[in-house]
Amino acid sequence: MSFLRDTWLTFDRAVRPALRSPAVLIVGVAVPLVYLVLFGPLLGGTTDENGLSSWQWFVPGMLIQLTLFITANAGFALIPDTRSGVLERMQVTPVSRVALLTGRVLKDVVLLLIQALLMIGLALILGFRAGVLPILAGLVLLAIIGVAVGFGSYGLAFKLKHEFALAPVVSGIVVPLMLLSGVLLPMDRAPDWLYYLSRANPLSYVVEAERELISGNYDQQIVLVGTLVAIGLLALTTTWSLRLLRRQLA
């Protein structure tokens, strides 16, 4: 029980500054919203082979992009705390080491879900349509992938220790993964080499699963595949960063 208590305490502390100035949440979601408003209409009139409107196709991809943006950068918040004495001070208490990380990841995911709802709200105004249950299912997948990427980002922050070292690694991983996952344009229009590269990107399956979930097509095989890929990623990054944490925080 002390693990849950410690996670809650860490979460509560981490979430406070954001609650005090909610404007930070808007800033975080601003770039993806700009994509939605200024890029989304360019897809106007296009429909895929299943007859989905461009918004139905585009919005789920933007939600994944938002998730990556927010959680891949989560590690940056850890670095000042390791440099000052904040993290050390907490490590010398009897608090669970793992909870120091899970509480932060939980905060990232909660804020992410609020930002995702903001984006969905704007998309609904623009012409996107989705039911409540499909949206909830879509948010669950976002949460899984958000936790996975968040743990990865904290792991990298532990390893690299400096913002200037973390920044190129994060964008070096996130930008190609995002472009190759077909969030902006359908990858089946790509040249062969690019198409096959995108098939090798685990994130592509998650994006496709998110599209089906939000359209309410839960029974598609890709939903299962995408969810399993997300869970696999989650297992991978969690194990990795918790191992780093245990080694660093002896």
Partner 1 sequence: MIKARGLTKTFQINKFTVEAVRGIDLDVSSGEMVGFLGPNGAGKSTTLRMLTTLLRPTSGEANIGGCDLLSDPAGVRKLIGYVGQNSSAGVEYKVREELVTHARLQGLSASVARARVAEMLDQYDLTGLEDRMIGALSGGQKRRIDIVMGVLHRPPVVFFDEPSTGLDPQSRSNLWDHIRNLRRDYETTVFLTTHYLDEADSLCDRILVIDGGRIVAEGTADELKAQVNGDLVTLETSAAPETAAAAERLDGATEVTVDGTTVRFRIARGDRVLPGLLRELDRINVDVFSVRTSRPTLDDVFLTVTGRSLRDSETAPAIPGL
Residues lying near partner 1 in the complex (CB under 8 A) = 6, 9, 12-13, 16-17, 20, 81-86, 88-95, 161-162, 249-250
CB nearer partner 1, residue 12 or residue 48: 12
How many Cβ atoms from other residues are within 10 Å of residue 86's Cβ?
13
Q: Nearest distance from residue 13's CB to partner 1, in Å?
A: 5
Determine the straight-line distance between the first and last CA of the chain, rounded to whole angstroms.
22
Q: Nearest distance from residue 98's CB to partner 1, in Å?
A: 13
Q: Nearest distance from residue 164's CB to partner 1, in Å?
A: 12
At 170, is the secondary structure helix, strand, or coil?
helix
CB nearer partner 1, residue 81 or residue 114: 81
CB nearer partner 1, residue 82 or residue 217: 82
CB nearer partner 1, residue 89 or residue 243: 89
CB nearer partner 1, residue 77 or residue 113: 77
Q: Nearest distance from residue 191's CB to partner 1, in Å?
A: 42
Question: Degrees (nearest 5) of the Cα angle 57, 58, 59?
Answer: 105
**Nearest Cα to 201, choosing from 226, 221, 166?**
226
Q: Nearest distance from residue 163's CB to partner 1, in Å?
A: 11
| Cβ density class 114-152: b for 16+ within 10 Å, e for less | ebbebbbebbeeeebebeeebbebbbebbbbbbbbbbbb
Query: Phi/psi of residue 161, each to 5°?
Result: 70, -15
